[in-house]
Structure 1
Amino acid sequence: MAESMQADKDILSKLFELNRLVAEAGEALDALPQLVNLIREILIFDNLVIYLAEKDKLIPYFARAVGRGRAKEADVAWGAEVARRIYKADKTIVKRESLEDTGENRLLLRYYLGVPLKQSGRKIGALILIRFGGPEYNVSQIRLAEFVAEQLSHLVEREQLILKVNALERGRQLGKMQEDFVATISHDLRTPLGFIKGYTTTLLRKDVEWDKETYREFLEIIDDEADRLRILIDNFLDSSRLQSGTLHMQFQNIRLATVLKDVVERVKIIGFDLVVDLHSDCSEMVINGTPARLAQVFDNLLDNANKYAPKSTVTVQLKKTDGKAHVIVRDTGPGIGEDHLEKIFHRFYRVPGSEVGTRGSGLGLFICRQIIEAHHGEIFAESVLGEGTTFHIYLPIVS
């Protein structure tokens, strides 16, 4: 009698422990191995399987073989038929199955105990416990299995709720980014159009005679704004084509140092408010790439430095690292917070609080990464606030 009471106390203690572990668990699949070990101390079984319903189909979510027959029978006996019966009948089922004439091999006898998994009265799957060779499940063990199934239902329910919340949050963030993008793109389109319209209207006024110097100044402003408008539209189109995989790239063997030299010289001619230094240890290094698209990447990085780190010194370096071409673009500007270093490569993303009035659509670095990845390369950023930002690009070298 005393032994029976002690056994009941032990089981009760383990049930409380199971409840605590479920309540404190993080991701279900990470917690289940530990839970299975505890459940086996409460209720002996050889196989445990959790099936979850997806569009009225039962899909194995978790399975573990821990006891007899583990090497052979456990690999193939997962109680799928019993799970379907449980789910359809919505009730606990006990089943005994004999594979063939068992003779002296009791492992050919299977004993199934299946319990529905439910959330707020709605069936979501089934828990299957399997024993090889017996003994049969008694009433007390069935009640324990139903308690275990209830705990596992809570575990799965919480994880599904977390997944739904995360999906909603991602959708909300994407929606906000798209709204911000529409607002940004509308503003950025209107700005150059406003300049073009304003200065064109001014030049066409019949009641004013403009001198040649003013006339030329106005035309140069119109020309600059038209270029900005073209770049903005090109970026938007490139972004869409990269996402759909329709952006044409014509690959050829090229000297990367030559591409970098041309970009730096062009930047100096344009007159960026930067001091740009180019250092190359590998002038003969050859990669397989698209010159125009790679130049677009380097142009964008220097253009960003000009926008967000004006008057800084930018060092562009080409070297060989771990057998790959390694391009480093480093500025001495204000830097970027660590939380934003990965997000700046996301489509539409702009660092909150970045320079007021600085034009941009949040597409440039997204395009850069897509182009570099199309070249089987890698691009990422490092930064220290108050010291500057460094972009690293790795590209495979042609042997």
Structure 2
Amino acid sequence: MNLKTKITLAFVTMLLLLLGVSAFTLYSLNRLDRTARNVVKDNLYSIELGQQMLRALDQLQLREAPLDEASKKRFEQLLTREAGNITEPGEQQVVDSLVDRVGELNRYLASDTTSPQIWQSQMQKFRGLTYRMIDLNTQALSRKNEAANRTATQQQRYVLALLTFALLTSLLFVLSVPEAAVSGLRKLTASIENATNQDYSASIPVESHDEFGTVARAFNRMLVQLQDYRTSTLAQLMAERNRVASIVNNLDEGLLLVDENRRVLLVNPVAANLLALPAAELLGCPADEVARQNDLFRELLRHLDTPAAQRPQEAGPVLTLAQNGEEVYYRVAVNDVISFNEALDKMEFVGSILTLHNVSEYKKLDQAKSNFLATVSHELKTPLSSINFSLKLLQNGKVGTVNEEQQRILATIKQENQRLLKLVGELIDVSRLESGNIQLNFQPTQVRDIVQFAADTIQLQLQPKQLTLDIQVPTELPPVRADIEKTTWVLLNLLANGIRYSPEQGQLHIRAALAAGGQQVEVLVQDHGPGIAPQYQEKIFQRFVQIPDKSGYRGGSGLGLSIAREFIGSQGGQLWVESELGSGSTFRFTLPVAG
């Protein structure tokens, strides 16, 4: 028998029991009701008639004149009703005697004798018979009441027995049917738990042919298929895992994987060798705990903690490490891993990948290039200075008269020579920055003084475009630790760029404020030019890079912003840009507060 039939039979049986108990209870109530109605109809009615007959006799006995026709007629009517409601043994004889007495009373009233004694004797006989009739019905009423009580008690016992049987039967079904329905589910749940723990051997015993038996057979077949699938795919997964592990372990780059909880998940041999720590000691360890014991890992963690918006998009920072007695250079790259969580239907951060790429060969080539540029720059500076001096002599006319056309040509040559001298000077600065030979003169200074000096210097360049300079630098700002000359050069470079790209009769803004945390002062230069597209906002700080200019300007070398960032960075600050196309640009740099 299947489970559905069992449950259906249980409910049908309980329904039949409920209907049986209800029907028997209704039958018992109807039987008691009929008994009560018969008692009222047979006996109580006769008793009531007898009481009314007694009251009529009282009226006849109280009258002084014996001929009270109304009371007499009333008594006869009540007697006639009683004659029609005879239900008890002996009641008929009493009623017949009363009828005879009424005849005698009528004959007595028709005679001329009106003796009071005879009248009282007649009334006493009427009373005696009436009381006899009432007594017969009263005794019958008592007997019927006792019989009704016995019947009610008996019916109560029958109903209680039937209810007890129904309750026991219902309890039997309540205890057996749900257990039969749940026992199979318990077995199925236990087997599913084992399968969840990759134990596919715990099958469900098939003990019946009901729905659970069908489910058990289907589930057991599924376990067999899962076991076969697991066996077949495990080898593939192991092969794929070994392939990926081989690729990772044979990379010539250092590779580390840190999860969202800042625990080290993966370290390849190159990274472990650079960190001078066994991979087994790193796996599963908190990154902060490793950083406290390892300087290189602490530096990598610093780059990891840098906000993604402030990380270099193309070229990451280069670390100089000692390896086998010589310096090697590794470029650090940090990539956040974002994965789609199907359960939550959203993208989630799941970790970060840190890579260390060996750029020692490129660094050597770059150093050779820098040395070449430094040598060429120094070699070019002397002849260019001589050319510049000679041009001044020609323009002054000390070596001969020069006509107007020649003066124009000399001015053009001098202008181009000045550009070459400026380019050579920037190349020399670049070479000094790369070699680390640049000298910085740190001293406490007020930002207001630096801004004011730059503003005074740039005034002449504002006039051709009729630009105005808006300066807002609070006097209560703390002094900063900076190289005044280099910082002024950076500010002048930013102002020159703002003048170059600002529309005529525009306005430039210089602001200064204490940065969040109170450890640095932030200075910004804002213009209302065409703005910088997002893809160029980081590239403009690279060397020899110029963004496309609709005005056709090509006078710069592409080194100014690169040198400016190096100057600010060497002083412990940062330089970056915020811009939107059509809304101008805002260059910001920070300087540390003098301690």
Rounded to whole Å, the distance in 2 between the matches of 1:281 and 1:8 is 76
Q: Which residue in the other structure is 1:378 paired with?
A: 574
The structure 2 residue matched to 1:351, chosen from 547, 563, 584, is: 547
Over 3 Å counting, the alpha-carbon distance change for 1:197 and 1:397 in structure 2 is closer
Residue 238 (structure 1) shift: 0.8
Q: Which residue in the other structure is 1:360 paired with?
A: 556
Residue 325 (structure 1) shift: 1.5
Rounded to whole Å, the distance in 1 between the matches of 2:434 and 2:409 is 38
SS in 1 for 2:578: strand
One-letter code of the match for 2:507?
Answer: T
User: Runs in 1 of length 4+ with deviation above 6 angstroms?
Assistant: 19-28, 52-55, 62-66, 195-204, 214-219
Q: Which residue in the other structure is 2:437 paired with?
A: 246
Confirm or deny that 1:269 pairs with 2:460: yes
The structure 2 residue matched to 1:336, chosen from 520, 532, 544, is: 532
331-340 or 8-17, which moves further after superposition? 8-17
Rounded to whole Å, the distance in 1 between the matches of 2:267 and 2:547 is 47
Rounded to whole Å, the distance in 2 between the matches of 1:370 and 1:360 is 18
One-letter code of the match for 1:261?
Answer: Q
The structure 2 residue matched to 1:290, chosen from 452, 470, 483, is: 483
Rounded to whole Å, the distance in 2 between the matches of 1:209 and 1:243 is 44
Residue 14 (structure 1) shift: 3.4
Alignment of 1:111-260 (within 5 A): 210=403, 224-260=415-451
Q: Which residue in the other structure is 1:280 paired with?
A: 472
How many residues align? The count is 273
Rounded to whole Å, the distance in 2 between the matches of 1:338 and 1:373 is 22
Rounded to whole Å, the distance in 2 between the matches of 1:200 and 1:300 is 27
Over 3 Å counting, the alpha-carbon distance change for 1:225 and 1:264 in structure 2 is farther
Rounded to whole Å, the distance in 1 between the matches of 2:525 and 2:490 is 11
The answer to whether the 8 A contact 2:445-2:480 is kept is yes
Over 3 Å counting, the alpha-carbon distance change for 1:283 and 1:226 in structure 2 is farther
Rounded to whole Å, the distance in 2 between the matches of 1:313 and 1:258 is 21
Residue 381 (structure 1) shift: 0.3
Q: Which has the higher contact order (CA 8 A, sep 6+)?
A: 1
Structure 1 residues 66-124: Cα deviation after superposition (integer angstroms, max 9, x where no partner): 9xxxxxxxxxxxxxxxxxxxxxxxxxxxxxxxxxxxxxxxxxxxxxxxxxxxxxxxxxx
The structure 1 residue matched to 2:584, chosen from 366, 388, 392, is: 388
Confirm or deny that 1:301 pairs with 2:301: no
Residue 237 (structure 1) shift: 0.8
Structure 1 residues 295-336: Cα deviation after superposition (integer angstroms, max 9, x where no partner): 110111112223344534221112223223211101111111
Higher helix share: 2
SS in 2 for 1:260: helix
Over 3 Å counting, the alpha-carbon distance change for 1:362 and 1:320 in structure 2 is same
SS in 2 for 1:390: strand
Q: Percent identity?
A: 25
Over 3 Å counting, the alpha-carbon distance change for 1:54 and 1:276 in structure 2 is same
TM-score by length of 2: 0.37
Rounded to whole Å, the distance in 1 between the matches of 2:487 and 2:552 is 29
User: Which structure 2 residue ranges, 5 or more long, are not aligned?
Assistant: 1-199, 202-222, 249-254, 261-265, 285-352
User: Which structure 1 residue ranges, 5 or more long, are not aligned?
Assistant: 34-47, 67-158
Rounded to whole Å, the distance in 2 between the matches of 1:263 and 1:257 is 10
SS in 1 for 2:532: coil
SS in 2 for 1:234: helix
Q: Which residue in the other structure is 2:157 paired with?
A: none
Residue 202 (structure 1) shift: 8.9
Over 3 Å counting, the alpha-carbon distance change for 1:59 and 1:279 in structure 2 is closer
Over 3 Å counting, the alpha-carbon distance change for 1:354 and 1:226 in structure 2 is same
Residue 209 (structure 1) shift: 5.6
Q: Which residue in the other structure is 2:511 paired with?
A: 317
RMSD of equivalent CA atoms:
5.1
Structure 1 residues 331-375: Cα deviation after superposition (integer angstroms, max 9, x where no partner): 111111111212211222222456534212221111111111122
Structure 1 residues 24-68: Cα deviation after superposition (integer angstroms, max 9, x where no partner): 9998754999xxxxxxxxxxxxxx99757999xx995577879xx
SS in 1 for 2:531: coil
